[in-house]
Chains A and B, each alone.
Chain A
Amino acid sequence: MELFEWGSNPWGQETLVRISWDLLYLAFWGGIAFILFHVVYAIVWLPKLARANGGGEAEAGGASVPARILRHTSAARFFHWVMAAAMIALLITGFFPIVGIQFPWVTIHWISGVLLTISILYHIVHATFFLDFWSIWILPADLREAWQRVRHQMGQEAGAIRKHGKYPLDHKLYHLAVTIAGLAVIGTGIVMMARIDGALWPRNPYLLSDATWGLMYVLHGFGSVLFVTLTLTHIYFAIRPEKLWITRSMIFGYVDRDRYLEHHDPQRWVVSRDSTEG
């Protein structure tokens, strides 16, 4: 398997063209393998853990918690689904032609890319100024807890594990991966617009040197194939029965009190009456 595809420039010098498309298949089958692993894990391991823990119980003292808790504001949901649509469009337009399903994809691809960029810009502003900015980022406490959880999973004594704040570590990890891959594809994608015919800009494939372009395509490629894995696993988790309540919250915005109390630490994800009015 190759990591990169090399070509030569008109002077016969070797240049980096893009990632090898072997990585696309690797990303796809890697994602599938992870899902299969998780399916097995979920069937074999999770019930064992649940029995050991005696099941998750809602904490007492949730009386002040409203029956429905706003998890995602309508704006956040709108962003998510716009982003998801753009991402799906990007993946389909980007990768279907590579696997042999041919159609005119470039325009849809770049328009989807622009849409994705706009939605992410919006998200950055929205999340920074209007949401609990730190709730999604991995903080030192998350790492400590992660270690605890690992020990717990391995059946070792790990002490009392606190429940999650608004976002559990796996969500945070996923968000981090999406952030990195997303910035890679968007950053490079915007530059790559110089290579296609645009109505508003003159096409200039010589904006950057061959080597820099190669790097752009490689970063774009890596980000994109990572999204293949991320998207596969994301969809998988979204449709797992025990996670459907989260998926529903991305549609309707709310989680109910039981779920909230079962999975979250109210001290870490403080909800008030106000928060039901998203």
Chain B
Amino acid sequence: MADYKLIGKPYETADLVAKATGRAKYAEDFRADGMLFAKLLVSPMPHGRVRSIDTSAAEAMPGVEAILTADDLPAADAPNETSLTNEPKYEGEPILAVAAVDETTAADAIEAIRVDMEPLPFAVDPLDSLRPGGPDARLDGNTMINRELATVKWNNVDWAAIDNGELPTDGEISEEWEVGDVEAGLAEADMVLDEVLFHQSMGHQPMETRTAMAYWQNGKCYLHVSTQSTLRTHGFAARGIGIAPEDLVLVSEYCGGGFGSKIFGFIQMNIPALLSQKAGKPVMMRITRQDEHFIGRARPGLQGRVRIGFRRDGRITAMDMFAVQDNGPYGQSGDFVVWPDMASLMYMPLSHRFRGISVYTNTPPRSPQRAPGGLQAVSMFAPLMQKAARQLDIDPLELIRINAPAGQAKIGRPDENGQQGNVTSAFVAEIADLAEQDLDWPAMRARSGRRNGSKVTGVGVALSSFNAGAWGMDGLLTIRPDGKVYIQQGIGNLGTESVFDTARVAMEVLQTDWEQAEVIWGDTSKHLPWSTVQAGSTTTWAHTRANQAAGEDAKRKLQEIAARDLGGSADDYDVADGRVFRRGARSTGLSFAQAAQRAIELGGRYDGHELPEDINAVTVGAATALAGLGLMGVAKDNYAVGGRVISHAIGIAEVEVDLETGAVELKDYRVATDVGTVINPRTLAAQLHGGGIQGFSAALAQKWVYDRRWGLQVSKRFYANRPPTFLDVPHEQPLQWAAQDKPDPFSPVGAKGVGETAEGAGSGAVLCAIADALGDGYFNRTPLMTDMILTKLENLPPAFSRLAAHV
């Protein structure tokens, strides 16, 4: 690891005190004079058509000020959604919104509205929709083929087999590719696993429900919104409201979690803006937990089949993957194609094939959720890796090593020329070593099978790999006459702290104390540069690079100004500790304050009056607004793009399973990771363990339950859908982690993201540990709950098909 001043060191982020003391203002903490409150009237049925709406009683109520319906909104192109609809396609989909003087009045008004609806056919399980004569979730089809809506029925398929929990692979699909010859690979294998798999759909359930408050001033809309991204939410929000981006000011200083459900804010954030326009008053829309449960997005479930061929030495010869994706009613989720992508990297099969189809269902809309497709890949395949290891009598960590990607490993779907892409780095063997040595996998493994009364110990290990970076963004900072470095950040403040962590790179370049930096974020009126989305674990990679570029630009300008004023060439000068100074004569130089003043005097490119040509138009606007305030560092990330950026983690878990009650107790969880250079060990640990905990929940508890007769969800409350809680985390000892701290070769800092990768490691390790405890406890289904474990232990007839969705 390089000898860094700031990078890799823990520090206090700028928002820490505000968050810890409750002074941080989230979207719903804002108030405006005369503010109204909005409530939503949502669909009571999974699919229906609004025949008529009678709002007369509501409108007659004192305090009711405006009502917004789908008729007030522009239509969206199928299969996309609008924030209000006259043809709801899932229970809980908003039909209209009411603004009133308070929430009580707004809710009473909703109750006074009569909506006459015609129920339409619905499907909650994708397989129901593929069945000949089965219902379609949409009137215009049940899937997308070649980007067109289409209706697919599996007329040729053996449905008796499907009813029996098998998944034939001869039904019509929409996506298909093959790398190498899978059938040949399977033929040459010494052992083939042929398995039916199921992964549940699950809501994002952030702590902060989506909320937005809007008001209009001088023709501009001011929107306070709970969103992951800031800059990238801005354009989406403006489009939703139907105004030019320059007429929208978007404020989002804090976001209480999103997990991918608020990447661009959320579709319904235009409701308060449009209601405010109608009512002529500010409008606050606080989404309730119940509404959040429906409109708050979800991970698509997968029903899958896989055949994996193994050589006797553990090397995987072929993976043949088949999946049906539970897509919800709108858009098209990419999970089902990322699923094989990630498998192709994590297990490096010598050949692989994917076939799949995404089917619309009348369940909540889907969006990416922490490692979209990647979590599913680990949860579904890691236990099979362990099963193979057991049958081949290989240590499962060793099996990971045997098949591990390394260096610029190939990944996923080939392009039109048949060429696969590659990753920038994969230090998987190295983190396997960390798991073995630093985290002591052998000691954990030695406890496998240990009995304690009716409890038996199981241990598991899983590799998780996922996307961890985007590139080509802009960095923007100004060094001002007050001597401070103002670093503009267009990414959001989601709680990962990357908004601060990545800013430190600029200060690292300037070799100056963090205390001298001011990070500007969370408000589009504050002139933010072109940024990546605060999602997909992209920010660390993207904005360490962008801020490196901006820092280098500033540094160069400092050197140039010093040379101009103090003689010599720019290269004779160095920058550190808030000064630019002559090498070897530290007292000869300028403070940042002096240099900033000089930059303003010099103008031109020094203070932002002249800008680089390759930066994004958004950055041009921001930099132009900041021009003249000081020395400007502004640059596009033009560093080499070496491939897809992927982080890796290996989780190891220890559980105790009670053979009499089916209870699973998670005893320990440790994780080793390859995220390139560690930027901030504290936030890295938080992501590794936070992601792991979310993974535990995906493995053990969190799910939806639908009554298929009505197409309605019955598990709306937290105690029924069971997101993870603090006490489900092993807390007898601190959870250990280890990072191989080697930089990725394709980035100046070499730091990759981590949030996504972390979840699968938790989920996969726990599932493997349970399987290990039960000896042969492979369920191929998540979440793995008490009833399933007891059903297996007691040899009871299963209560539902292993392919059944939302059970």
Interface residues of A (CB under 8 A from B): 10-13, 206
Contact = CB atoms under 8 A, between A and B. Distances in A.
B119 A11 contact: yes
Interface string B113-142: 000010100000000000000000000000
B45 A12 contact: yes
B709 A11 contact: no
A12 B535 CA distance: 38
A56 B262 CA distance: 94
A11 B44 CA distance: 5
Interface in B710-749: 710, 712
List 5 A-B pairs, minimum CB-CB distance, nearest first: A12-B44, A11-B45, A10-B710, A11-B44, A10-B712
17 contacts: A10-B44, A10-B707, A10-B710, A10-B712, A11-B44, A11-B45, A11-B48, A11-B117, A11-B119, A11-B710, A11-B712, A12-B44, A12-B45, A12-B117, A13-B117, A13-B119, A206-B709
Contacts of A13: 117, 119
Nearest to B46: A11
A13 B43 CA distance: 12
A38 B438 CA distance: 98
Most A C-beta atoms less than 10 A away, residue of B44, B119, B709: B44
Nearest to B707: A10
Contacts of B712: 10-11
Q: Per DSSP, are chain B's interface residues mostly helix, strand or loop, or mixed?
A: strand
A206 B710 CA distance: 11
A207 to B, nearest CB: 12
Contacts of A11: 44-45, 48, 117, 119, 710, 712
Contacts of B45: 11-12
Nearest to A12: B44
Nearest to A9: B710
Most B C-beta atoms less than 10 A away, residue of A11, A12, A206: A11
B579 to A, nearest CB: 70
Interface string B29-65: 0000000000000001100100000000000000000
Contacts of A12: 44-45, 117
A240 to B, nearest CB: 53
B53 to A, nearest CB: 13
Given A10-B44, A11-B119, 15 more contacts: A10-B707, A10-B710, A10-B712, A11-B44, A11-B45, A11-B48, A11-B117, A11-B710, A11-B712, A12-B44, A12-B45, A12-B117, A13-B117, A13-B119, A206-B709
A60 to B, nearest CB: 73
Nearest to B710: A10
Contacts of B117: 11-13
Nearest to B44: A12
Interface size class of B (residues with CB under 8 A): under 10
A232 to B, nearest CB: 41
A98 to B, nearest CB: 28
Contacts of A10: 44, 707, 710, 712
Contacts of A206: 709
Interface in B644-693: none
Contacts of B44: 10-12
A58 B739 CA distance: 115
A271 to B, nearest CB: 61
A240 B44 CA distance: 58
Contacts of B48: 11
Nearest to B712: A10
A11 B91 CA distance: 9
A63 to B, nearest CB: 73
Interface in B147-193: none
A206 B707 CA distance: 13
B368 to A, nearest CB: 31
A42 B392 CA distance: 99
B1 to A, nearest CB: 59
Nearest to A8: B44
A31 to B, nearest CB: 40
A93 to B, nearest CB: 30
A206 B119 CA distance: 17
B229 to A, nearest CB: 36
Nearest to A205: B709
B118 to A, nearest CB: 10
A10 B48 CA distance: 14
A270 B709 CA distance: 61
A252 to B, nearest CB: 56
A173 B710 CA distance: 46
B261 to A, nearest CB: 26
Interface in B278-293: none
A153 to B, nearest CB: 53
A13 B44 CA distance: 9
Nearest to A206: B709
Contacts of B709: 206
A12 B113 CA distance: 13
Contacts of B707: 10
A251 to B, nearest CB: 52
A37 to B, nearest CB: 45
A13 B48 CA distance: 12
A231 B45 CA distance: 45
B95 to A, nearest CB: 12
Most B C-beta atoms less than 10 A away, residue of A10, A12, A13: A10
B705 to A, nearest CB: 14
Contacts of B710: 10-11
A13 B119 CA distance: 10
Nearest to B119: A11
A6 to B, nearest CB: 14
A206 B48 CA distance: 21
Nearest to B48: A11
A195 to B, nearest CB: 15
B111 to A, nearest CB: 11
A84 to B, nearest CB: 41
A12 B45 CA distance: 8
B584 to A, nearest CB: 80
Nearest to B709: A206
B109 to A, nearest CB: 17
A11 B709 CA distance: 11
Nearest to B115: A12
Interface string B322-351: 000000000000000000000000000000
A48 to B, nearest CB: 60
A194 to B, nearest CB: 15
B713 to A, nearest CB: 11
Contacts of B119: 11, 13
A206 B709 CA distance: 9
B51 to A, nearest CB: 12
B144 to A, nearest CB: 28
A10 B710 CA distance: 7
A252 B710 CA distance: 57
A13 B118 CA distance: 10
B88 to A, nearest CB: 11
B363 to A, nearest CB: 16
A179 B495 CA distance: 74
A12 B95 CA distance: 14
A13 B117 CA distance: 8
A56 B687 CA distance: 103
Interface string B271-305: 00000000000000000000000000000000000
A12 B712 CA distance: 12
Nearest to A11: B45
A13 B45 CA distance: 10
A12 B114 CA distance: 11
B780 to A, nearest CB: 30
